[in-house]
Amino acid sequence: MTALELSHVTKRFGEKLAVDDLSLTLEPGSFLGLVGRNGAGKSTTLKMVTGLIAPSSGSISVLGKNVAEEPLAVKRQLGVMPEDMALLEMLTGPQYLHFVGRMYGVDDHDITRRRVELFEALDLEPGPKTLIGEYSFGMKKKLALCSALLHGPKLLFLDEPFEGIDAVTNRTIKDILQGLQKKGVTLVLTSHILEVVEKLCPLIAIIDEGKLKGFGPLDSLRRQGESLEALFVGLVGGASKAELSWL
């Protein structure tokens, strides 16, 4: 059984073609880095896979279940950390994690235990009455990651997880993600920091203007000694060198 299968997936917003005939398959325990320019269709793809929006055509299966036909069964297996995090800012961190845990049917005792472990691992120490709205950006990122991991997902989607995170936590998150992969969890990560993707993800998918430009193990995609950045710019086309006349 595949962990994730996208078959000829297309998404249109009015006249705009956001994702164009995208097909790819991931085995359980894969760690995919999904990279692309701004507006390339990465977030739209993640939204379709996680059931937030429906594709205009094509089908998506998660762990053998069709997203359109069995959305609830699929969502139970997914952990999602969206780029905008979408946290309930008038709750405290522990209150929010209890909310999320209950939505997934985790019992209160387990939620508390997992929350303590997650906070400790991610070095998240908010005041007991500090509201999420008062957290720093990095703390919000950590909390969003906690909420994505709380119910023990089989497939984890992380949209720009390293943005605004300090170096120590960055390392902790990488360790956690690699540990999850060893336990058979499938991970999909999007990031503009290509060095992180290069070090962390054995599998790479490059998407541009909604089309898949390259997909496979990094070493099979690039030439000897070539960096991911060079491969990426080569596939999607680099910007012309502009002279800034006033500087």
Partner 1 sequence: MAVASPIRAVLTAHFESTVNRMRKQLGRTGFIGLLFFLGVFAFVGVVPLLLLATVGSYFLAREAFVQHTGHGLDVMFGVGFTVLPLFGGLIGGVSGGSQQLAWEQYRAYPVTPRTLFLAELVAGFGDVTAAVISLMLLGAGAAVALAAPAHALASVVLAIEAVVLMLSVQLLVGSLANRLAQRLRFALAVLLVSPGVFILLVRPWLEKEERTGFKSSRHAWELASTLAAWLPSSMTFQPGARAWLGAAAQALAVGAVVVTAAVMLWREHASSPDDSGGPVAPPWTFTRPVLGIARLQLVTLLGSHLGKGAFILPVIAVVLLRGFVAELTGRTDWMVPGAFLYTSFAATGLAFNQFGLDGHGVKALFLLPITEQQILKGKQLGYAGWQAMQVALLVVLLGVMHQPSLEHVAIGLLLFVCLFFLQGAVGQFFSTWLPRRLSPTSMKNGQVPITVALASLGTSLGGMAVFGGALFGLRHSPIPPVVGMAALALGCFLASRPALRFNARFLAENRDRVIEAVG
Tokens 């290069």 belong to 198
Q: Which is nearer to partner 1, 74 or 204 (CB)?
A: 74
Angle (CA) 84-123-128 rounded to 5° is 80
1, 38, 109, 129: residue in contact with partner 1 (rule CB under 8 A): 129
| By CB under 8 A, residue 230 contacts partner 1 | no
| By CB under 8 A, residue 134 contacts partner 1 | yes
Tokens 């896979």 belong to 49
* 47 close to 98: Cβ distance less than 8 angstroms: no
Binding mask 41-80 for partner 1 (x = CB under 8 A): ---x--x--xxxx-----------------xxxxxx---x
Paired tokens of 173? 């998150």
Burial tier of 78 (Cβ tally within 10 Å: 0-12, 13-18, 19+): buried
| By CB under 8 A, residue 233 contacts partner 1 | no
| By CB under 8 A, residue 128 contacts partner 1 | no
Smallest gap from residue 224 Cβ to partner 1 (A): 41
| By CB under 8 A, residue 131 contacts partner 1 | yes
Per this entry, what is the length of the chain?
Answer: 247
Total of residues contacting partner 1 (CB under 8 A)? 37
Q: Which is nearer to partner 1, 146 or 218 (CB)?
A: 146
CA-based radius of gyration for the chain: 19
Q: Which is nearer to partner 1, 142 or 151 (CB)?
A: 151
Site for partner 1 in 90-119 (CB under 8 A): 90-92, 95, 98-105
Smallest gap from residue 232 Cβ to partner 1 (A): 25
Packing angle, helices 108-121 and 137-149, rounded to 10: 140
Smallest gap from residue 235 Cβ to partner 1 (A): 26
Q: In this structure, how many other beta carbons lie within 10 angstroms of the beta carbon of residue 77?
A: 18
| By CB under 8 A, residue 163 contacts partner 1 | no
Tell which residue, 156, 207, 203, has the closest CA to residue 42.
207
Tokens 């235990």 belong to 113
Q: Is residue 184 left, alpha or beta, with left meaning phi > 0 and alpha meaning psi from -120 to 50?
A: left
* 60 close to 49: Cβ distance less than 8 angstroms: yes
Q: Which is nearer to partner 1, 15 or 243 (CB)?
A: 15
Q: Which is nearer to partner 1, 91 or 235 (CB)?
A: 91
Chain residues binding partner 1 by CB under 8 A are 12-16, 44, 47, 50-53, 71-76, 80, 82, 86, 88, 90-92, 95, 98-105, 129, 131, 133-134
